[in-house]
Amino acid sequence: MNLAPSSKSLALRKLLFACHLLSVLIYSSDARTQRNNDMKQLQRPSKDRLQQSEYWMRSISFAGLHRILKAVAVFPNGLRAGELNKLVQEKDISLTRRSSPPALTTLYHYRNALLHLRALKRDGRMLHVNADNPDVCELLRQPAPANGDQSLSDAARDSFAALVLNNEQCRSLFFDLFMPSDGSFDSVTSFRQKGVPVRWSREHSSRATEIVFQNDTTGRTACCSSPASVAAILYGVRYWARDELRLIDEYCQRSDGSASMFPVSRPSTSTTGINSAVMQTVRYLLSLRAAGEWMRFSVFDLIAHCCEARRQPISVLFGAIDWLLHEWPNHIVLIPTSRALATLSATSPQRETLELRRYYKTSNSPYISHIRIHKDVTVKSMEVTDHEDRHPSKTLA
């Protein structure tokens, strides 16, 4: 019997084998393509990852940063991140005013800030103090605040301010907005002297709410449209500049609800000397009086003229009002407003706090919107600083 396959049967087998081989090749090609795409996705950082690396700033205490930096400096060989977390917990190192132990996320943000500011540097898995940086060396020379104390020495504050202003992201996202031209600044002092006011406001649209910053001098604008950018810029580096480093001050505008941020001079160590910022502000305030027995001032207008225009913190103006009330109690009249009226447009506790910055207040008084000053109020050119020796019997008939 002849068992040899026919020519048709052989051709069919060859065709089936070719189809099978082709399918194998196609599958292999698809698999390689998929692997390549997967590798590209792994290599290309996601949008969230990019935002995390750019918008790393958070609302943190620089007194806490100082305590951590001093703690790491004790270990010349460095610490791993986990070891630093354990050290903070074991040594009960306080990062904020809260007495409870900080969460791991909080510890990460403090550690991450010190790395971005180049106060710490990473060598493999070890964290070391960056002793090559002169501002870091100055921080190591300064005593860290005790637990619960959020105040920084002037030297420590200046060193932290230099670290922040030297950070490219802090500058490009926030501080460069204050420049009067396309030029930049080369020091903390030049920022204080050259910077101009910047306004920010919330703008609502059908799609989202944006935070818009605008430099009215140059017309330059910038926007925060993502939650990450708002957290980092509005509640991170802006808070640093205003409350922690005292590089700027801020108050709410009345007309459009925007807030004005303005650079301020370095706070003076003297508050009662004849040439202190407080006494200079007293003289300038009195020079604004027009003819008449009494002159009525809006505290809001005084902030614009005595603080924003003269690069003085709002606390200096309030210190000047304190001095006037102490020295001329019967020649100064305070006109109060209710807290409810002062914060009528506020939509959050944070906004309430911001809107109340434009009102004068002592610890036991209501919020003051206006002040009346009598024409007889003066400051002698050689006035002594002892309150008991000044104007012992100033009263109005």
245 DSSP assignment:
S
Q: In the block, which residue shows the tokens 């070391």?
A: 128
Spatial CA neighbour of 115 closest among 77, 157, 78, 90: 78
Mean pLDDT of the chain: 85
Contact between 86 and 104 under an 8 Å Cβ cutoff? The reply is no
Measured CA to CA in angstroms, residue 146 lies from 80, 96, 106, 154, 362 at distances of: 24, 11, 19, 16, 27
Give per-residue pLDDT as tens, 99-119: 678 899 999 999 999 999 999
Q: In terms of pLDDT, which residue wins out, 277 or 363?
A: 277
On whether the CB atoms of residues 367 and 361 are closer than 8 A, the answer is yes
pLDDT of residue 362: 85
pLDDT band at residue 33 using 50, 70 and 90 as cut-offs: low
- List, as one string, the DSSP characters of 86-98: HHHHHTT--SSS-
d(C-alpha 260, C-alpha 304), whole Å? 10
pLDDT tens per residue across span 318-345: 999 999 999 999 999 999 999 999 998 8
Q: Cα–Cα distance between 177 and 358 in angstroms, integer?
A: 23
Hey, which residues does 336 pair with through a beta bridge? 368
Mean pLDDT of 260-273: 81
Going by the DSSP 8-state scheme, the letter that residue 237 receives in this structure is I
Distance CA 46, CA 158 (A): 36
Beta-carbon contacts of 299 under 8 Å, excluding residues fewer than 6 positions away, are 358, 359, 360, 368, 369, 370, 371
Which is more confidently placed, 205 or 283? 283
User: Using the 8-state DSSP alphabet, how is residue 46 labeled?
Assistant: P
Angle at CA of residue 163, ends 162 and 167, nearest 5°: 110
Q: What whole-number distance in Å separates Cα of residue 188 and Cα of residue 138?
A: 15
Structural contact between residues 278 and 98, judged by C-beta atoms closer than 8 angstroms: no
CA-based torsion, 277, 283, 288, 293: positive or negative: positive
Give me 79's structure tokens: 């610490």
Measured CA to CA, the distance from residue 193 to residue 205 in angstroms comes to: 37
Specify the pLDDT at position 39.
41
Q: Cite the beta strand spans of the chain per DSSP E.
A: 120-123, 126-129, 198-204, 209-214, 221-224, 248-252, 259-263, 294-298, 332-337, 367-374
Tell me: pLDDT of 186 over 50: yes
Residue 205's pLDDT is 79
What is the residue whose two structure tokens read 């017309």?
Answer: 219
Residues in the chain: 397
Residue 81 has pLDDT above 70, yes or no: yes
pLDDT band (50, 70, 90) for residue 394: very low
Reported as a pLDDT band with limits 50, 70 and 90, residue 262 is: very high
- What spatial distance separates the first Cα and last Cα of the chain, rounded to whole Å? 144
Q: What does the pLDDT read at residue 45?
A: 47
- Statement: 62-156 belongs to CATH 3.30.160: no
pLDDT in the model for residue 148:
82
Tell me the pLDDT band of 358, cut-offs 50, 70 and 90: very high
Distance CA(174)–CA(236), nearest Å, equals 10
Provide the β-strand partners of residue 214.
199, 221
pLDDT at site 266: 87
Strands 209-214 and 198-204: antiparallel
Least confident range from 50-54, 83-87, 300-304: namely 50-54
Cα distance between residue 78 and residue 122, in whole Å:
9
Q: Which of 103, 186, 97, 183 lies closest to 147 in space, CA to CA? A: 97
Does the pLDDT of residue 18 top 90, yes or no?
A: no
Beta bridge partners, 302, equal none
Looking at residue 24, its pLDDT comes to: 52
Residue, of 66 and 2, whose pLDDT is higher: 66
- The label of the residue with tokens 């003085």 reads 312
* Every domain of the chain and the residues it spans: 62-156, 168-263, 277-389
Query: For 58-87, what is the mean pLDDT?
Result: 96
Express each pLDDT in 375-387 by its tens digit: 999 997 655 444 4
Check residue 393 and give its pLDDT.
Answer: 37
C-alpha separations of 294 from 239, 332, 364 in Å:
38, 9, 25
Residue holding tokens 């089936």?
16
- Which token pair is 222? 């910038």
- In this predicted structure, the answer to whether residue 179 has a pLDDT above a threshold of 60 is yes
Across 2-19, average pLDDT = 61
- What's the confidence (pLDDT) of residue 21? 58
pLDDT at 314 over 50: yes
Between 13 and 157, residue with greater pLDDT: 157
